[in-house]
Amino acid sequence: MGCQYFDPCDHGADTFTIAIPKLTFGRGCLREAGARAAGLGMTRIGLFTDPGLRGSAYFATVVESLKQAGLDFAVFDEITIEADDASVERGASFIAEGKFDGVVSIGGGSVMDTAKASMLYGLHPADEFLDYFAPPLGAGRPMPCSLLPHLACPTTSGTGSECTSISVLRINDMATKFVLANPVLLPQEALIDPACSDTLPAMVVASTGFDLLCHALECYTAKAYTRWDRQDEPSKRPLIQGANPWSDLAARKALEIAGEYLERGVNSAEDQEARDNLMWGASLAGMAFGNTGTHLGHALSYGVTHLMHDITTEGYQVKSPFVPHGISVVVSAPAIFRYTAAAAPERHFEAASYLQSDLQGAGIDDAGEALAKRLIGLMRKTEVPNGLGGVGFGLADVPALAASSARQVRAIANSPRETNLVDIENIYAAAISY
């Protein structure tokens, strides 16, 4: 494939699969929601949003567009700030009782992920909530071949959920997050209106922006698809398949966008060019990681959100202890990429270049340090917490953090460097402060 990183190996995969929805991008495109929904055959719609957005101009635009198209709809907004099993169970009842023939979601990743999972559980109930999750957490129950048509409308510039076959859910009894991943969860269409980001608080733009950055960075440095075991039966091939030539294209551009516009978009709400580009970058990164998977950055973030305490974040309307997803990812990222660079130094060096790292006088062996310095610099310029210490953790928390994140088996296996529990503990210890 023109890149040594993807050279074939014994028993390794020799195919990869790409799946993305039909995308419409541009300021004002939410006005097309009615026409797009009708084009997907929808007549009665389950409209998913969250309580904070229900009174927004963007939600009103979608509602008016659906009305003008003559479409019937009912609204579901009982969604927590980060998607969880309780929200999905409520959403599943809404779907089961609503007699809908399509779903429209407008909101951040939590809204879109809740909509995806609510369709699954509402139309095809499971005996136990975890049945559809992959082992060892769940039973690995096969998912159905289709759900309802889904038109996704993101309002933040980070998760990329409008472009993925993934739903990330907090399992409340276990106090951590796990992933549903199956092609059936992919939205059919997405309307990406960057005007939605105009009114986002700076810290929300920072959190979602670092999420997009780490999606792209983890995709580009993930284990190559050719290093996963070959599966000749298509139905047995994992959705999370490792870095591949197609995902490289989207990840590269997303990294360039983050390097150019993240600081600007956070520090100036009036910088329309920056916020528009971050919105597009989030979708590009979603296209990449939706077909590649993430690795240690996201795996280790789940320990942070599992054990968070005595911390809240400016810009988010939540009273309980809360670390936004993108912040939970980036606080460990510099230490992670210092660690993973040894396994794929060329890929890390290329990624550092796309992210506009200072590479003057640097060689391939300096790739991890160059990436770490660039990430730390962006964190300081956007005033996000300084490492794990900035979100309330210390060295005494490292064993518990590592034990929690070690359950993210698939993401850890997607790392370019083989990683065990001791390695995870060492990464966390190195991430306390920068």
What confidence score (pLDDT) does residue 382 get?
97
Q: Which helix (H) or strand (E) holds 224?
A: none
What confidence score (pLDDT) does residue 10 get?
86
Mean pLDDT confidence for 116-141:
93
Sequence-distant (≥ 6) Cβ neighbours of residue 45 within 8 angstroms: 37, 66, 71, 72, 73, 74, 100, 101, 102, 103, 104
What confidence score (pLDDT) does residue 1 get?
47
**Residue 315 scores a pLDDT above 60:** no
> Mind listing the pLDDT tens digit for each residue in 224-266?
999 999 998 888 888 889 999 999 999 999 999 999 999 999 9
Query: What value does the mean pLDDT of the chain take?
Result: 94
What confidence score (pLDDT) does residue 319 get?
57
> Mind listing the pLDDT tens digit for each residue in 341-354?
999 999 999 999 99
| Residue (of 156, 154, 80) closest to 118 by Cα position | 80
Mean pLDDT confidence for 415-423:
98
CB atoms within 10 A of CB 199: 12
- Split at pLDDT 50, 70, 90, the class of 134 is confident
- Domains contained in the chain, CATH given: 4-16+200-430 (1.20.1090.10), 28-192 (3.40.50.1970)
| Angle formed by the axes of helices 245-267 and 272-292, nearest 10° | 150
Sequence-distant (≥ 6) Cβ neighbours of residue 26 within 8 angstroms: 192, 193, 194
- Split at pLDDT 50, 70, 90, the class of 4 is confident
- Split at pLDDT 50, 70, 90, the class of 2 is very low
What confidence score (pLDDT) does residue 174 get?
85
Mean pLDDT confidence for 124-128:
94
Q: CA 59 to CA 405: how far, in whole Å?
A: 36
